Structure 1
């Protein structure tokens, strides 16, 4: 993982934030054992460093997932509809990430 990888990922986050019309205060990376990303209600996003090594569609899933939580705090019907509107078959990406997570934990 290089600083270029982080910069590229952050650019992608800012682009999605603009598209979704949400305010992001900060973007951080750290090793996260049990999840791929998190967000605070204040707009602070934290992403697992392992995401930088994953394919773009999985990065987009994690980014959009967290950004939508800045508007919708749960995984209810509206959140699911928006995930589908922006990413299409987001459920397959979710399953792919879960499988990678299981393999990662060994």
Structure 2
């Protein structure tokens, strides 16, 4: 390892981190997860936008502590990069949820009907995210 180099490598189901100290490990892992997040989220947002018949704006990563995502009126999605640690079923729930807001901006019965139309099991996914979400962290 070069004196200033940090790296992350996935080998099978194990993640190997090369770093000078624990702070560099945290930074290297966060950067690695963010790279994975933008690639996965961009692909899955396109999929769910098509299913919902909506046009979205930018896909942006955030480091929120209490939110998985949000969607503004312009269709920009702000997504918690930590979500990439979750199973794909939960990532898809958050993305479909946020994109459904482009059809119905609130959490009225009409909103839940739109979401149910593309994801009939959304309630189970939502419950699982509520139950397991705290484990998707590097802290």
Range into which the TM-score falls when normalised by the shorter chain: 0.7 to 0.9
Structure 2 gap ranges (5+): 1-32
- State the TM-score, normalizing by the size of structure 1: 0.87
Alignment partner of 1:36 is 2:68 = yes
Of 69, 83, 91, 1:59 maps to 91
Q: Is the 8 A contact 2:82 2:136 kept in 1?
A: no
Could you tell me how far 1:16 is from its partner in structure 2? 1.1
1:6-25 equivalences under 5 Å are 6-25=38-57
Could you tell me how far 1:3 is from its partner in structure 2? 2.0
Q: Is the 8 A contact 2:64 2:80 kept in 1?
A: yes
Select the structure that is richer in helix: 1
Partner of 2:112: 80
Instruction: Note the alpha carbon deviations across 1:48-93, whole angstroms, 9 max, x for none.
Output: 0111111011011000100010110111112112222211121111
Deviates more, 1:40-49 or 1:13-22: 13-22
Partner of 2:126: 94
For residues 19 and 87 of structure 1, the distance between their equivalents in structure 2, rounded to whole angstroms, comes to 10
Aligned residues: 105
For residues 2 and 64 of structure 1, the distance between their equivalents in structure 2, rounded to whole angstroms, comes to 20
- Structure scoring higher RCO (CA < 8 A, sep ≥ 6) equals 1
- State the TM-score, normalizing by the size of structure 2: 0.68
Structure whose CA Rg is larger: 2
3-state SS in 2 of match to 1:46: strand
